[in-house]
Amino acid sequence: MGRTVTSKDIEELRALLSGTNAKLLTPTEEGYEKAIERWSKAAEKPAGVVVVPTDAFQISTVVKFAAAKKLDLAVRGGGHSTAGSSSTDGGLLFDLSSIRDIIVDPATKTVKVGGGANWGEVDAGLAKYGLATVGGTISDTGVGGLTLGGGYGWLSGKYGLTIDNLISVTVVVASGDILKASKDQNPDLFWAMRGAGHNFGLVTEFEFQAFEQGDMWAGVLAFKPAPPVVAQVVAAVNDIFVGPKDGKGTTKLAGQGMGALVLTRPPDAGGKVVLAVAIIFNGTEEEGKKAFKALFEIGPINSTMKPVPYHVANQTLHGPHGYRVSMKGAVFSLPLQPEFVQEVLGEYVKFTEEAADMAGTMIIYELYDPYVVNTRASNQDTSFANRGWHMNAMVTPYWTKPENDALGRQWARDTSVIFDKWFAKSGREQRAGDYGTVLAYGNYDHYDGKKSQDLFGLNYPRLQSVKAKYDPGNLFNKQFAVTPQL
């Protein structure tokens, strides 16, 4: 971590940026509070100064200054981090909210995206041309944070991870150089950016491959959380999402559908606990009803399923804004055991009943067909090293009072231990990955307990070498920092 900003630093920055349209905001200036605002109120920190650039050249100037002065540096893309990695306490903050152009090329089915855009903006821009790409499962997530950490989305079963569809990035590295990274240009940097990208520079533009995309059949089915119903829902989910016994082929959905098993207390249910199943099906309503027939036969108490465009489907699991939120990642394997879900449900009910401020808390078991993610690329092909046949889960406490910060985070840790226990029962070594990693999706599991070596496994030494080349002073160090190779 670098040092905090001084009044002299601010004076020098003003001089450096004079004659440009970049904004420089101090804590007393209009726009500062908005710049340090985050999706999770618990992730907000008071930056010493905020720079709001409009192009890569302004960023280059300021990056060189920050490196020379050894300032603590953070980058706000979409502002969706719950760990505080897009914030700095007294340091220099880049706010990329003025760099969010969406430029679609219908002929090549590609899209160029500014580093400050969120996935909802990308979805809407592509929808005008009948296209979509693999974004996050929540559309107000920032493009930068999700992509640089790997990126699972509702289309991953069909097209792979977000980084599998990344064509190039334009990145400002610690020297201030503005580089293009792709398979043909600076391929070592491109390899590193796809999974550990937060460590290597500030991305001003992403270029993605897009695909033709029609309407989807999407929404949520809600069920009563009674034990017999839980068992029926788990059985249906297993039938739909469990692949061949050898683990090598596709599921019944063949990548056409993704979903999530969700424990929640939705407002429209009067705050009562609901076992919900989110469904995002890449096909017609008729095809979807046939594919998910087993769930409908159980008798949901409510259904919001309907044909919608992809950019609407990608809002299915939107969380509310203005809360203090934490995310703790976990993993599980299929087939799910009803006793596992019942145990987690019991802890969820107890926690949200005893701590009224935590009523908005959710637990999400993500469900998808992992075949394409595991066959389109390997754990060597990108720095992202957690491809596998496991599923991701997210333990997400929501609360309002700062005095409950420790309570929410500790409960998330404790709940993830239950996931670990049941994963071990599935026959896999607890938290052991297949590439020298712990099985943890860094975009979900990044506020404690995991080291960079755990996340990147056998890729870590190579990352250290690339880090020494592009950021020897470790200027970019906010999320799963990679120590430069000496």
Torsion from C-alpha of 165, 166, 167, 172, nearest 10 degrees: 180
- Note the pLDDT of residue 449: 58
- Note the pLDDT of residue 445: 75
Nearest to 468 by CA among 479, 458, 460: 460
- Note the pLDDT of residue 228: 98
- Note the pLDDT of residue 1: 79
Type of residue found at 271: G
The residues of the chain scoring below 70 in pLDDT are 245-248, 428-434, 446-450
- Provide φ and ψ at 339, rounded to 5°: -65, -35
- Note the pLDDT of residue 247: 58
Are the C-beta atoms of 184 and 476 separated by less than 8 Å? no
Task: Write the CA distances from 463 to 120, 374, 388, 433, integer angstroms.
Answer: 31, 21, 20, 18
- Note the pLDDT of residue 430: 44
Element (H, E) at 168: strand 166-172
Strands 211-212 and 257-264, bridge-based pairing: unpaired
Task: Look at residue 275 and give its three-state secondary structure.
Answer: strand
Are the C-beta atoms of 81 and 145 separated by less than 8 Å? yes
Type of residue found at 98: S
pTM value is: 0.96
Query: What's the mean per-residue pLDDT of the chain?
Result: 94
Tokens of residue 136, six digits = 């996050």
